[in-house]
Amino acid sequence: MPDPLGPLFDALESINGELTGFAARLARLEDGGAGRGASKQGASGEDGSSDTKRVRGAPVAWHQVTEEERAELWGEFTAWVIRMADTYELTTEQLPHACWWEHGAVVAELTALWTGWESTYGNEEDAAAGPYLWHDSWARGIERIGRMWLGECTNGYHQNKSRTVWGTDPAYRKKIIEAGPPGASNGGPAEPKAA
């Protein structure tokens, strides 16, 4: 009688082999990144100076990018967005042609998709699932942009969202900090009593 658990053990052995391979690849990538002279954005060199050479696929936080880096990175990013909009035939409802760059959340979403794309397609050792997973992220990200981040912009008409800007009122932040988290002893809602 054949062992009913044999296929399960074979599958587990295969998964273990893949995980071991991924761990080895990760170790090579971590060790190899420093050896090729590339460093992550904002990393300091041995002499204490900042090495601004960005590794392709490294995250980009636009508010932390230096002025010198911004022009180059923004040009690369913009070219990528335009190429992707044409490749994937995006409509103005998905990504408004006239004003996408004026929406911070849209830029953040697209930046994450861009760095994910660089990581997926810029790594010749990437597993075959990388492009598929990136496309899944792309579809969800573009859907989120059209549904959540654009406000009332459509067909080339830019309209700022009707909203209160949170970060411009220091008294607001102070009020929240003084109130403390729920259940705090400084007047916040009381903890529920055990029955």
Residue, of 149 and 60, whose pLDDT is higher: 60
Say what the pLDDT of residue 39 is. Answer: 38
Q: Within 10 Å of residue 193's Cβ, how many Cβ atoms?
A: 5
Kindly report the average pLDDT of the chain as a whole number.
74
For residue range 86-130, list pLDDT tens digits in order. Answer: 999 988 888 888 888 888 888 999 999 999 999 888 877 666 788
For residue range 41-61, list pLDDT tens digits in order. Answer: 444 344 444 455 778 888 999
The ranges assigned to domains in the chain are 52-183
pTM for the model = 0.58
Residue, of 135 and 173, whose pLDDT is higher: 135
Of the candidates 121, 110, 101, 100, the residue with the CA atom closest to the CA atom of residue 80: 110
Say what the pLDDT of residue 5 is. Answer: 76
pLDDT at 33 over 70: no
User: Helices (DSSP H) in the chain: which residue ranges?
Assistant: 6-35, 67-87, 104-121, 129-144, 170-179
